[in-house]
Amino acid sequence: MIENILPYLDKDDIIIDGGNSYFTDTIRREADLKKKGIRFLGMGVSGGEKGALEGPSLMPGGNREVYDELAPFLLKVAAQDPAPCVDFMGNGGAGHFVKMVHNGIEYADMQLIAEIYDIAKNAFAYSNKEIHELFTYFQSTDLNSYLIDITCNILATTEEDTEGLLINKIKDEAKGKGTGMWTIQESTRLASPVPAISAALDGRYISSNLELRQLFNTLFPENPVAGNTISRSESHALLESTLLTGKILAYAQGFYLLKQADMEYNFNFNFASIAKIWRNGCIIRSTMLDEMSRALENSSLISLVEDEFFLTRLKKNIPALRKVLCLGIESGIPVTALGTSLWYLEALRAKRLPANLIQAQRDFFGAHTYQRIDREGDFHTEWEKL
CA dihedral sign, ordered 255, 259, 264, 270: positive
CA distance 288 to 340: 21
Active site residue 385: no
**Cβ within 8 Å of residue 274, ≥6 positions away:** 59, 87, 89, 98, 255, 258, 296
CA distance 214 to 207: 11
DSSP 91-140: STTHHHHHHHHHHHHHHHHHHHHHHHHHHHHHTS---HHHHHHHHHHHTT
CA distance 152 to 157: 9
Q: Which of 30, 99, 115, 291 is catalytic?
A: 99
CB-neighbour burial class of residue 36 (10 A; exposed 0-12, middle 13-18, buried 19+): exposed
Q: Which of 30, 106, 115, 186 is catalytic?
A: 106
Residues across the chain: 386
Q: In the sheet that 14-17 helps form, which strands lie side by side, from edge to edge?
A: 14-17, 39-46, 57-62
Q: Which of 268, 313, 269 is nearest to 287 (CA)?
A: 313
**Cβ within 8 Å of residue 318, ≥6 positions away:** 245, 342, 345
CA distance 315 to 44: 34
b/e per residue 143-169 (b: at least 16 CB within 10 A):
bebbbbeebbeebbeeeeeeeebebee
Task: Please state, as a whole number, how many other Cβ atoms lie within 10 Å of the Cβ of residue 374.
Answer: 4
Active site residue 173: no
CA distance 232 to 238: 10
CA distance 274 to 67: 16
Question: In the 8-state DSSP scheme, what is residue 334?
Answer: -
HSE-up of residue 284 (Cα within 13 Å, Cβ side): 30
Enumerate the active-site residues: 99, 106
